[in-house]
């Protein structure tokens, strides 16, 4: 049965198609006093409510004068992990740096120790409440990375947990295999990369457990040459490629991302004019992660300069236990405005249309005839509440493929 939604103060969506860059990133279509019809999980029609006459037998849902925007897309999370990083957090508040903790075998490596020994069911149970929080805060599509397994077996278990999570939520989960940190002994690096490229990646691809591969390119993680080796193999396997780059040092990861035509390069806190210039000529999306800036107290990715430089910018939570325990996709919107210098309109595009492109799903992130009926109802009549609100929840309802996601 088709559904008709009425009583919408503002129906707001990015326009155009594909990623939006420069001034286009702020261009939104706003329909006042709007309505739309959903048939077979998709938007069949949308426009002014005055133009709509519900047909016989159609279910009419009155949203009571609230604003509707596309469901948010969280293009970067590490929502599956076991253990916690509370001791790291405490140590950092007393002056120890994130990178120093990692160098001493803690940080990401401590989460690997706790995650690698957990089974698929345990990992799924631990991650489900995190996914539910993201959905309640407006996410209808969520990218989820592995990366705390380290061995092939444990990485595949993480990817299986992501698949299993899909049974308990309507949200679309997009799995990424993350090659996160190398072995601690220098001598083991090349054997580790052999394992990754000849066993782990082909197996993940064969079983359809990942749609992309991501590499953490950083002094304390993988070099540019090592990253290139992994991502070229990923491309040969038909997988998308992504990078964590320029988080602490701009060692060339962003330039490699553009060169390889990566879907996205994420972090960019240490990016400067050279990286912005490189990104402006390519099709790679720059994903900013303001939760990391807030949690680690480090510099912010240059969101304003990226947009002014003509780079399409997306935003994600980077939900993870170490650098960004940010379990609200709506709050990532709010922080992108405060921390990365985006306007509310640019942030909305960053969390919808551009985030969709960042995960290789250009068909998502907009409301238009034919699109999946993934939308959120805000807690008031003005769409800007979404990035204005800090804490609480500006998202009253999350609808995915025409169905309301409850609790």
- Looking from the CA of 247 toward its CB, the CA atoms found within 13 Å total 25
* Of 173, 145, 154, 395, the residue nearest 289 (C-alpha): 145
* Residue 74 binding partner per list Fe ion, ligand NIG, none, with a CB distance cut-off of 5 to 8 Å that depends on partner kind: none
Instruction: Figure out which of the listed residues 322, 351, 360, 365 binds ligand NIG, where binding follows CB under 6 A.
Output: 322
| Smallest distance from Fe ion to CB 147, Å | 8
Binding-site partner at residue 383 among ligand NIG, Fe ion, none, CB < 5 to 8 Å by type: none
24 binds Fe ion (CB under 5 A): no
Residue 244 touching ligand NIG (CB under 6 A): yes
Contacting residues for 299 by C-beta, under 8 A, at least 6 apart = 269, 270, 293
**Applying CB under 6 A, does 247 fall inside the site for ligand NIG?**
yes
Smallest gap, in angstroms, from Cβ of residue 322 to ligand NIG?
2
For ligand NIG, the closer CB: 71 or 253? 253
Nearer to Fe ion, 144 or 373 (CB): 144
Question: How far is 200 from 264, CA to CA, in rounded Å?
Answer: 22
- Nearest CA-CA partner of 164 in 213, 114, 128: 128
Q: How far is the CB of 321 from ligand NIG (least distance, A)?
A: 6
- Residue 147's φ and ψ, nearest 5 degrees, are 115, -10
Binders of ligand NIG in range 93-122 (CB under 6 A): 107-108, 111
Q: Find the shortest distance in angstroms from Cβ 313 to ligand NIG.
A: 17
Q: Closest CB to ligand NIG belongs to which residue?
A: 322
Please, what sign has the CA dihedral across residues 79, 80, 84, 90?
Answer: negative
Site size with Fe ion, rule: CB under 5 A: 1
Residue 242 interaction partner, one of ligand NIG, Fe ion, none, beta carbon < 5-8 Å per kind: none
Instruction: Tell me which of Fe ion, ligand NIG, none is bound by residue 322, counting a contact when its beta carbon lies within the kind-specific cut-off of 5 to 8 angstroms.
Output: ligand NIG
Q: Is residue 318 at the binding interface for Fe ion, with CB under 5 A as the rule?
A: yes
Cβ within 8 Å of residue 227, ≥6 positions away: 215, 217, 243, 253, 256
For tokens 């005055």, the residue is: 50
Positions of E strands within 122-171: 139-145
- 284-302 b/e (C-beta count within 10 Å ≥ 16 → b): bbbbbbbbbbbbbebebbb
Burial 82-109 (b: 16+ CB within 10 A, else e): bbebeebeebbeeeeebbebbeeebbbb
Smallest gap from Cβ 81 to ligand NIG, in A, equals 7
Smallest separation, CB 289 to ligand NIG (Å): 7
- Which strand ranges, in their side-by-side order, compose the sheet holding 403-404? 42-48, 28-39, 3-14, 59-70, 375-378, 395-400, 403-404
Helices (H), 250-323: 253-260, 273-281, 290-296, 303-308
Binding mask 29-68 for Fe ion (x = CB under 5 A): ----------------------------------------
> Of residues 290-319, which lie at the interface with ligand NIG (CB under 6 A)?
292, 318
Q: Kindly write out the interface string for residues 5-44 of this chain, putting x where it contacts ligand NIG by CB under 6 A and - elsewhere.
A: ----------------------------------------
Burial of 45 (C-beta count, 10 Å sphere; 0-12/13-18/19+): middle
Binding site for Fe ion (CB under 5 A): 318
| Binding interface with ligand NIG (CB under 6 A) | 78, 107-108, 111, 216, 244, 247, 292, 318, 320-323
């Amino acid at each position: 049965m088709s559904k008709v939604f009425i009583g919408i103060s503002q129906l707001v969506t990015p326009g155009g198609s594909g990623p939006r860059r420069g001034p286009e990133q702020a261009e939104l279509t706003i329909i006042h006093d709007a309505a739309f019809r959903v048939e077979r999980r998709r938007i069949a029609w949308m426009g002014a409510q005055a133009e709509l006459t519900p047909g016989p037998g159609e279910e009419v849902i009155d949203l009571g004068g609230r604003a509707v925007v596309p469901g948010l897309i969280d293009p970067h999370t590490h929502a599956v992990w076991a253990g916690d990083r509370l001791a790291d957090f405490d140590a950092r508040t007393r002056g120890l740096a994130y990178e120093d903790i990692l160098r001493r075998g803690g940080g990401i490596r401590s989460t690997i120790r706790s995650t690698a020994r957990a089974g698929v069911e345990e990992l799924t149970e631990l991650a489900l409440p995190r996914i539910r929080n993201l959905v309640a805060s407006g996410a209808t599509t969520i990218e989820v990375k592995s990366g705390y397994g380290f061995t092939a077996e444990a990485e595949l278990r993480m990817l299986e947990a992501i698949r299993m999570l899909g049974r308990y939520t309507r949200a679309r989960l997009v799995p990424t295999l993350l090659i996160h940190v190398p072995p601690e002994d220098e001598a083991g690096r090349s054997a580790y990369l052999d394992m990754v490229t000849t066993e782990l990646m082909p197996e993940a691809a064969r079983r359809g457990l990942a749609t992309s591969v991501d590499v953490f390119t950083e002094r304390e993680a993988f070099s540019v040459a090592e990253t290139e080796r992994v991502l070229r193999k990923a491309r040969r396997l038909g997988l998308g490629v992504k990078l964590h780059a320029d988080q602490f040092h701009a060692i060339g990861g962003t330039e490699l991302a553009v060169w390889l035509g990566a879907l996205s390069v994420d972090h960019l806190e240490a990016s400067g004019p050279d990286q912005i210039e490189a990104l402006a000529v390519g099709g790679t999306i720059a994903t900013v992660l303001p939760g990391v800036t807030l949690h680690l107290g480090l510099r912010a990715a240059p969101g304003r300069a990226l947009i002014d430089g003509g780079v399409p910018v997306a935003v994600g939570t980077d939900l993870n236990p170490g650098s960004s325990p940010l379990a609200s996709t709506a709050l990532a919107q709010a922080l992108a405005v405060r921390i990365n210098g985006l306007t509310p309109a640019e942030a909305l595009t960053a969390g919808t249309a551009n985030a969709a492109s960042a995960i290789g799903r250009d068909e998502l992130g907009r409301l238009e005839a034919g699109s999946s009926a993934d939308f959120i109802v805000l807690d008031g009549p003005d769409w800007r509440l979404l990035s204005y609100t800090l804490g609480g929840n500006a998202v009253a309802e999350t609808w995915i493929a025409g169905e309301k996601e409850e609790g």
